[in-house]
Amino acid sequence: MREKRFNLAHRLIHWAIALTMSFLLLTVFLRIGWMNKDFMGGIIQQNLNKSGVQINTKDAALIGKAVRKPMWRWHEVAGYVMIGLYLIRMLITAMQGIAYKGPFSKESSSKDKFKAWVYIVFYVLLAASLFTGFMVENGPKSLQHNMAEVHMQSIYYVVIFIMLHIGGVLIADAGLDRGLISKMISGDKA
């Protein structure tokens, strides 16, 4: 099944997921950083004060939240795109099989088992993130707070996975799996 690892479907879905996930992370970092409602509210409050308009901190934060709402809507849209990409990824995997040795294979080295578990955990946690994000938007109001709390923890595993993934790819490309990065871009020419 390794020959299917770099086929067009595999590469397209990989890069579509990578770009969508990067966009999702960008919107999260904007929301908790530069476009934080309290930070933006402070800027609004400060500039209105210069013009002689007084506004309290709570109202300024509400305005900041309203200003970032269109940006956050793109996070929600990207979340729906990611749900579609995830389902396509699972369909491709079901049709083509996994592209690496499984964690329970007797032929798997410790490195192969570690890699397999990283991907399994990633896709399970991604499913949980997509489900909780969907439930925040579409689920019952009684579950919204709990789902949001779980969903917000997604950033930790995503950042850890990205670091492990990029680090592993760079190590593999520099070592025994030379040309790995080129293959993921242009396909297996071997």
98-153 pLDDT tens trace: 777 788 888 888 888 888 898 899 999 999 999 999 999 999 999 999 999 999 99
Model pTM?
0.86
Tens-place pLDDT, residues 57-78: 999 999 999 999 999 999 999 9
Domain boundary among 65, 99, 133: 99
Its domain, for residue 175, covers: 101-190
CB environment 7-40: b (16+ within 10 A), e (fewer): eeebbebbebbeebbebbbebbebbeeebbbeeb
Model confidence at 3, in pLDDT bands (50, 70, 90)? low
- Quick check: 99 and 51 in contact, CB under 8 A? no
Domain identity same for 105 and 61: no
Is 87 contained in some domain?
no
Same domain, 33 and 107: no
Q: Same structural domain for residues 73 and 114?
A: no
Q: Is residue 83 part of a domain?
A: no
> Does residue 141 fall inside a structural domain?
yes
Is residue 169 within 8 A of residue 181, CB to CB? The reply is yes
Judge whether 187 lies within some domain. yes
Q: Is residue 63 located within the same domain as residue 139?
A: no
Q: Is the pLDDT of residue 81 over 90?
A: yes
pLDDT on residue 175: 87
Structural domains in the chain (count): 2
